[in-house]
Amino acid sequence: MSALPHTPPAVPRINPERLWASLMELASLGATPKGGVCRLALTDLDRQGRDRVVGWLREAGCEIRIDAIGNVFGIRAGQRGNGMDGEGPDARPCDDPAGLPVAIGSHVDTQPTGGRFDGNYGVLAGVEVIRALNDAGLQTARPICVAIWTNEEGTRFTPVMMGSGVYAGAFPLDHCLAQVDREGIRVDRALADIGYAGRDSAPRFAAYFEPHIEQGPVLEAEGITIGAVEGALGQRWFDATVTGQDAHAGPTPLPMRRDALLAAARMVQVVRTIATDAPDYARGTVGQLFVHPNSRNVIPGRVEFTVDLRNARDETLDTMVSQLRAEAARIAREERVEIDLREVVYFPPCAFDPQLVAGIERHAARLGHPVRRLASGAGHDAVYVARTCPTAMIFVPCEGGISHNEIENAQPADIAAGAAVLLGAVLDAAAR
């Protein structure tokens, strides 16, 4: 048999300069003297940022929908429609699964001393995908949606990842609308003030992609351009208190001591050892530690510290916690102190969609970009969105792994590479 003749499809390509220019233009809104960005959620600067992106989406032919928590959806219609049944505020997500859009999203709010890329990159990579499709004159089968999630950073209002959490049903809408900032301003009031208290229902997605800077050091250190993110680590956080006995450092012989800091120091090492010995992207960190009375010549009678355990698998996380409790009991016995462990936070692990992750790897390889699988150690909107549809993230390197900092930086070539891989993966998903 001879090969069938076929017409190559139009090949859209992202425009690296345009993407970078949009990133820098958005970064100018709330720019700090040190080169970062301060654009807290639902402030007037956040309005300016949203307005800028919404303007670009409208220029690119997207229909804009805004839901009650202020999430913004810019929809480029596909051959199968715009992802909604009906018009305007009365429109509902379409009944036909084949008509659901492929979405790309992240956030445009920042930390008080935030950088230019965190969140903003994901949104603008989505804008660039739509611009590239327009340039190529290509209408995909499914619609394409760019999502801006409200208040991902959680700096002004808690909880973090508020918009995507409401979208995914993790938080009740009314609860979030009633949250207040330090000045007592409610979320619903702040949304209305900046013109983003929407009434549209949100679209459902066939698939969701979130490009993001890694916010960690792995890709840069290994010389890899694309991280195909397999999922986000589950987290179990503890508050620990060690109670021993204050005593004068001079007259108290070593065997008679009940030194809370010595016991805590052993626990700090235990946390590291447990994580080192565990599989599945295990992490273990003691980030905070307070000594009482914290005086040079007094044996510490009480130490408080935190434990942050993370893992990609819940079962492994359980094992790590069991080890932590067993070691705490052993050290308490040996050092004649009490060690109290109280669990304060649990985020379950989130596994992204294997097919989408494999697609990201495939497109990276096709484009000649070194790629490796990673887990996201931090939270992202994608973690909540993954509860509603197949989801994946694309990481690109950031300088020194530094983020949530005004010196956060990324290279234009990496930014472009991530968007190109995104475009390929989106086209696949939009054709299915």
**Phi-psi category of 387—alpha, beta or left, where left has phi over 0 and alpha has psi -120 to 50?**
alpha
CB of 288 to a copy of itself, least distance (A): 5
CB of 216 to a copy of itself, least distance (A): 3
Residues in contact with a copy of itself by CB under 8 A are 214-218, 221, 233, 235, 237, 247-254, 256, 259, 261-262, 264-266, 268-269, 272, 275-276, 281-291, 294-300, 306, 308, 310, 376-379, 401, 403-404
Tell me if 92 sits within 8 A of 204, measured CB to CB: no
C-alpha span between 83 and 90 (Å, rounded)? 13
Closest to a copy of itself by CB, 159 or 377: 377
Closest to a copy of itself by CB, 157 or 395: 395
CB of 249 to a copy of itself, least distance (A): 4
Closest to a copy of itself by CB, 36 or 198: 36
C-alpha span between 334 and 260 (Å, rounded)? 12
CB of 24 to a copy of itself, least distance (A): 24
Closest to a copy of itself by CB, 119 or 300: 300
C-alpha span between 173 and 165 (Å, rounded)? 9
CB of 51 to a copy of itself, least distance (A): 30
Tell me if 381 sits within 8 A of 152, measured CB to CB: yes
Cis before 12? omega within 30:
no
Look up residue 418 and give its amino acid: G
Kindly give the residue spans of alpha helices, DSSP state H, lying in 7-43: 16-27
* Nearest C-alpha neighbor of 163 from the set 174, 172, 151: 151
- Give 80's DSSP letter: T
CB of 314 to a copy of itself, least distance (A): 16
Give the Cβ contact number of residue 121 at 10 Å: 27
